[in-house]
Amino acid sequence: MPVRAAGAESGTGIPKSPSEAMEELEHTCPQPRLTLTAPAPFADETSCQCQAPHEKLTIAQARLGTPVDRPVRVYADGIFDLFHAGHARALMQAKTLFPNSYLLVGVCSDDLTHKFKGFTVMNETERYEALRHCRYVDEVIRDAPWTLTPEFLEKHKIDFVAHDDIPYSSAGSDDVYKHIKEAGMFVPTQRTEGISTSDIITRIVRDYDVYARRNLQRGYTAKELNVSFINEKKYRFQNQVDKMKEKVKNVEERSKEFVYKVEEKSHDLIQKWEEKSREFIGNFLELFGPDGAWKQMFQERSGRMLQAFSPRQSPNSSPTRGRSPSRSPSPPWVINKTSPPSSPKAASASLSSMSEGDEDEK
């Protein structure tokens, strides 16, 4: 919004006093980012040119969300080398300290960092860009000072400084944030344990040979990796040995897989053979066993053959005369009255047979 200058005329045409004009000044501070479709801007591109007085806030006031017409401007600084999850969590805490906050992140340059801390893996341009693409950052301040001065705080209209509460000794001071804490502008954040830039560098140094060998395989030269001629030959030889080990391992795994398949198939064949053998033995016993069907069939056929060769006779001890006339055959001496002998010779023959029968019975 346009800012009315001091001494501007009112609606009645009477010029206002400078104090009345200052009361009507409105805050034009940049607002927090609402969309994340673009990286955060740099401070020199969108510097705060607000003409309204920047009233000092207490932490209690800021946590209530006041003032309503401008965000609370929170500042966090660091080196941010090898930007990782610990950095992101610290910035998230700084962003969410108050209901309506605008997070400014200061990043020190390479010259300042190498002077007071040491060599970095990423250069300053890479570190600036890493911060611009963090979702919690609203503005990035390049070439941030190592120690915060009142002029720097006033220039960027900073309300509070966010950092972990551990005393940070550097540049000849036991704690570079001591004066910020004494002014009541310091808000602590919590460090993330188990992750830091130094920890990541330590892992790389510890496994340097592994990374050097891997990058040689990817096409990097020994000069780019700062590897000597002897170490280069050693690493390449180790890579060849690893390739042979990998091939042997693959062959071994394939052999194990083949043996497993053969064992599985042989187990299935043995199981099927056992089932078939049990079935065969059972059928054999049913047919040729002690009580098998073959024995019964043989006994039946042998009985029939015996009956065919020697028909069964009536026992001799059974009385012939005691039988009923209806069942016993007629004795030879009974003369059929209906059929008399046709001749005297036939009659005499029948009488002789009768006499022979009587003699046999006696």
Q: Which two tokens stand for residue 101?
A: 């906050």
Q: What whole-number distance in Å separates Cα of residue 59 and Cα of residue 74?
A: 11
Model confidence at 339: pLDDT above 70? no
Question: Highest mean pLDDT range out of 68-72, 100-104, 260-264?
Answer: 100-104
Question: Highest mean pLDDT range out of 17-21, 199-203, 335-339?
Answer: 199-203
Q: Which two tokens stand for residue 179?
A: 């004066």
Mean predicted lDDT score pLDDT of the chain: 79
pLDDT-derived band at 2, boundaries 50, 70, 90: very low
The residue-averaged pLDDT of 53-67 equals 82
The string of pLDDT tens digits covering residues 232-270 is: 888 888 888 888 888 888 888 888 888 888 888 888 888
pLDDT over 70, % of the chain: 73
Residues whose CB falls within 8 Å of the CB of residue 216, separated by 6 or more in sequence, listed in order: 222, 225, 227, 232, 235, 236, 239
Closest by alpha carbon to 108, among 81, 146, 139? 146
| Annotated domain spans of the chain | 59-194, 198-294
Q: What whole-number distance in Å separates Cα of residue 326 and Cα of residue 234?
A: 126
Model confidence at 356: pLDDT above 60? no
Burial status of residue 185 (CB atoms within 10 A of its CB: 0-12, 13-18, 19 or more):
buried
**Dihedral sign, CA of 204, 210, 212, 217?**
negative
**Residue-level pLDDT at 311:** 60
The CATH architecture of the domain made up of 59-194 is 3-Layer(aba) Sandwich (3.40)
Model confidence at 185: pLDDT above 80? yes
pLDDT-derived band at 82, boundaries 50, 70, 90: very high
23-27, 182-186, 214-218, 302-306: the lowest-pLDDT one: 23-27
**Residue-level pLDDT at 331:** 53
Q: What whole-number distance in Å separates Cα of residue 231 and Cα of residue 213?
A: 10
Q: Supply the pTM of this predicted model.
A: 0.59
Model confidence at 55: pLDDT above 50? yes
SS3 at position 223: coil
Question: Highest mean pLDDT range out of 24-38, 184-198, 332-346?
Answer: 184-198
Pick the residue with more confidence: 165 or 2? 165
Burial status of residue 84 (CB atoms within 10 A of its CB: 0-12, 13-18, 19 or more):
middle
Pick the residue with more confidence: 178 or 45? 178
**Residue-level pLDDT at 152:** 95
Model confidence at 362: pLDDT above 70? no
**Residue-level pLDDT at 178:** 92
Model confidence at 308: pLDDT above 70? yes
Q: What whole-number distance in Å separates Cα of residue 334 and Cα of residue 59?
A: 153
The full DSSP string for 303-328 is: HHHHHHHS-----TTS-STTS-TTTS
**Residue-level pLDDT at 256:** 85
